[in-house]
Structures are given as structure tokens and as C-alpha cells.
Amino acid sequence: MKITIIGTGYVGLVTGACLAEIGHDVFCLDVDPRKIDILNAGGVPIHEPGLLELIARNRAAGRITFSTDIAASVEHGDVQFIAVGTPPDEDGSADLQYVLEAARSIGRYMNGFKVVVDKSTVPVGTAQRVHDVLAEEIAKRGLAGSAQHGFSVVSNPEFLKEGAAVEDFMRPDRIIIGIDEDEQGNVAREKMKRLYAPFNRNHERTIYMDVRSAEFTKYAANAMLATRISFMNEMANLADRVGADIESVRRGIGSDPRIGYHFLYAGCGYGGSCFPKDVQALIRTAAESGQNLRILEAVEDVNHGQKEVLVRKILDAFGEDLTGRHFAVWGLAFKPNTDDMREASSRRVIEALLLRGATVTAYDPVATDEAKRVFALDLKQAPELLARLTFASSQDEALVGGDALVIVTEWTAFKAPDFVHLKSVLKAPRIFDGRNLYEPDAMAELGIDYQSIGRPHVKLATDATPAV
């Protein structure tokens, strides 16, 4: 099938590359010539494991094309995926200007029946707005009612985890398709069935529903996952006060199959492009419908506060004034296996340290360039703070001269470091771990003062000889 993907961001690129991989003829459009130039030069503008190789293989096979030509993109695809950004507006609602502009472009140039698929995460009712924009553009051309210019709007939300998006797309646990039941919807259903047929050969993974339910499903899924994270973070903060170990608690409750282990890890808060934005958007949608989502309001509030928990532990140890203190930070991206800095906890932690007079050297395996760009924007009004932030080229380099190591992202490379070397280059053997990577008792045996989230702070014996 001929497929068009509008938008070469995270969702659009993964969707386009994976659909090309199963044999479809994919045309990827973006209005940003910089992105298209990078892609046509053999690069990828985002970091996602396996994506570069997937695109290269399908470009060589002639199954994927990248262009800024809007008319050509509309002409190409019988199915038009809208996969553009939906950033949060000032009031927390999703900004749909790019989605609606994509719909206008389709309506402006389409000739022949098109299935228009909302792949972007959008609020309930967006498909109707896309439908109205398409109809308006077709009417402007004097083609309203023409059978040759019919269309159907479908909701097909993505459920991709950054860092594992290619695997998630190629081996989905479910495919949600929202289609309204009418003559054109029946045509669209057949096309979508054919499009996703390779994923349903072993067993049917597609769940069909009405459009509004599909739109709602995406938000509800992300809200549930965010809720689990904030719940565990609240439990971790209580565990700190009552002397319990949140890791033991996690294992205890996660063993219940009704609960499970996924998204039950305590830490320094969630971030990224999805959870914060989608929770806010769902709260806003509820408010517009006259309802308060009290649980999600609490989820958001807990997450906001959780990003300060690690900072508070540092201040309790060193005092409010950190002038003359230097900290090593491991991890900048909001999660491992991505360079995404959106709503990353590192931004709040590092800025808090800088504001109190500290200097910071940070390291991330892939997000350093993006972090430099983001911090330059975050601190553009405070150049004196930015001057106290440097970036290391390795995790060992970041440690040198640090009063403590602060861990913010759980990269695999950080899970088993050389603790003997770590102690030799830090001014003092002290770790503040926002992701609970190590065992407190093991750290005490190594002679490391170790504080994590919701786990015991084992005081070092002054006369103990550290084991190595």
C-alpha cells in the first residue's frame, strides 16, 4: 500500500520506518527542511535504538522517501497519517494547530478517496475537527459531495515507549483503531485491516471501536501509567519516614498478578513528551466538560514535587548554601535509550543545585548535545548559572573533583560502575541515587555514603574498613 506520514518526529519516523519494513511504500513529509536534509543525508534527527538501521535498509530498498513537497505527499498516499506534534498550550490543553494544518494540506491537494489517520496524541473530538477542516477545504475547491473526493477520518493512537519504540511497533500488544460506522468508514476499515494485516497473522491484535473511544483510550492509558509512578513515589516518600524499603514493598505488591511490576519503580519523577502533557490535557478536557479529575490532579502534583526530593536530600546533607560545592551528575535524558530532554528531572535537579551556588559536571551517553541546547534556553536569563555547568565526555570524567555523585537517569552503563575508581576521584564517597540502582547495604560495605529514594540510608561506621 502507498502510505504518507506527515511529520518526521518521534512517532512519524518510527511509524514510517516500520510500515516500510513490512513492505509498504512510505512517503514521509516534513515542513522543516533541516530534518529532511538530515534524513536524506543518511542521518536521523532523534535517538531511538534500531531506527537508523531500519531507515537505511528501507531507503536502500526504495520503500521510504523523505521530502518537504506537500502536494506530492498528498498525491502519494491512499492512507495519510498525521503524526505531528501536539505541544501543551498555556492552559494545559493540547495545541492542535499542526494537526489541523496537516488536515488543511490534505484537503487542499487531495484527489481521490483518502483515509486520514490521526496518529498524534489528540483530545477527544479531534477527529471531528479534522473532518470539518477537510470538508471545508474540499468545499473551497467546489468539490463538496464529489465521490472522488471522499474521505474517512480514523483514530489510530500510538503506544510506543521511547527507547523501545521499534520493538513496540513491530511486536504490538494491541492496535487500537477508531472508525465511525458508515459507508466511508467501512472502506477505511478494510484499508486499515489490510495495512496492519502482517501484525495479526499469529493472533488478532486489532481492537476496533468508535473514534472518540479510541482517542480517549490513549489518554487513559498514559494517565494510568503516570498514576502508578506517582503512587509509588508517594509510597517511597512515606517509606523514607517510617523506615521501610520501597524495593521490598515493590516486590511484595508486584507479585500480585492483579498489580504486576510494570511502572512501579520509585524515583525522581516522570518526564518526556507523553505523560506530563497527556495528564495535563486530560485534566483540561475534564474541566471543559465540568468535571475535576482529582486523582490525576494529585498525580501531577506528586510528580512535580518528586523532582525536588533528590535535591532535598542533597541539601539536608550539605546545607542550603552550596557555594564551593561541586557535583557530578550521571544522566540527563528523561529516561534511558533516548536523547529526549522534555520534562527531564535532570533539568530541575541541576538548576536547583546551580541556584544554590554549586558547580555541576554532567554526563549522558547520548543526550549531551540536546542537553546543551535545552539548558542554554532554560538558563538564558541567568548566564552566570550556565557558566557553572559543564558537560563531560565520559562518566568517569564527570566524577573528578565531585563532592558527591548524583544519579538522575538509569542508563545501563551506570548500573555496575567501578566503585573503587569512583571513590578515588570523588572528594568524598557519597552518592545520591534518584533511580535506586544500587543496594544500600552493599554501598555501606564499600564505604560509600548512599542515599536513594524510599530506601534505608545506612550510616557508615567511622571505624569500618571498606571492603572492595
CA nearest to 314, candidates 433, 201, 177, 398: 433
- Whether 436 is in a domain gets the answer yes
CA nearest to 279, candidates 214, 225, 211: 225
- Whether 466 is in a domain gets the answer no
- Whether 462 is in a domain gets the answer no
- End position of a domain, from candidates 245, 280, 305: 305
**Whether residue 284 is found in the same domain as residue 340:** no
CATH number at residue 384: 3.40.50.720
Q: Give 90-130 pLDDT, tens digit per residue.
A: 777 888 999 999 999 999 999 999 999 999 999 999 999 99
Integer Cα distance of 203 and 223 in angstroms: 28
CA-CA distances (angstroms) from residue 264 to 213, 269, 397, 457?
27, 12, 32, 21
**Whether residue 280 is found in the same domain as residue 349:** no
**Whether residue 202 is found in the same domain as residue 105:** yes
CATH number at residue 260: 1.10.1040.10
Integer Cα distance of 24 and 45 in angstroms: 22
pTM above 0.85, yes or no: yes
State the pLDDT at residue 273: 84
**Whether residue 129 is found in the same domain as residue 168:** yes
**Whether residue 291 is found in the same domain as residue 179:** no
The residue range of the domain holding 258 is: 219-305
- End position of a domain, from candidates 269, 287, 305: 305
The three cell numbers of residue 271 are 518526564
Q: Is 38 in contact with 52 (CB distance < 8 Å)?
A: no
**Whether residue 48 is found in the same domain as residue 134:** yes
Catalytic positions: 274
**Whether residue 252 is found in the same domain as residue 144:** no
Say how many Å lie between the first and final Cα of the chain, rounded. Answer: 60
* Chain-centre distance for alpha carbon 349: 19
State the pLDDT at residue 147: 61
Q: Is 44 in contact with 193 (CB distance < 8 Å)?
A: no
The three cell numbers of residue 54 are 531500519
Residues of the chain with confidence (pLDDT) below 50 = 463-468
CB count in 10 Å sphere of residue 256:
9
C-alpha count within 13 angstroms, C-beta hemisphere, residue 400: 8
- End position of a domain, from candidates 167, 191, 209: 209
- Whether 461 is in a domain gets the answer no
- Whether 240 is in a domain gets the answer yes
**Whether residue 199 is found in the same domain as residue 228:** no
State the pLDDT at residue 94: 84
**Whether residue 98 is found in the same domain as residue 123:** yes
- Whether 282 is in a domain gets the answer yes
- Whether 460 is in a domain gets the answer no
**Whether residue 35 is found in the same domain as residue 176:** yes
In DSSP terms, which residues pair with 6 in a beta bridge?
29, 82
CA-CA distances (angstroms) from residue 457 to 70, 308, 358, 433, 446?
58, 18, 23, 11, 14
Integer Cα distance of 233 and 268 in angstroms: 8
**Whether residue 334 is found in the same domain as residue 282:** no
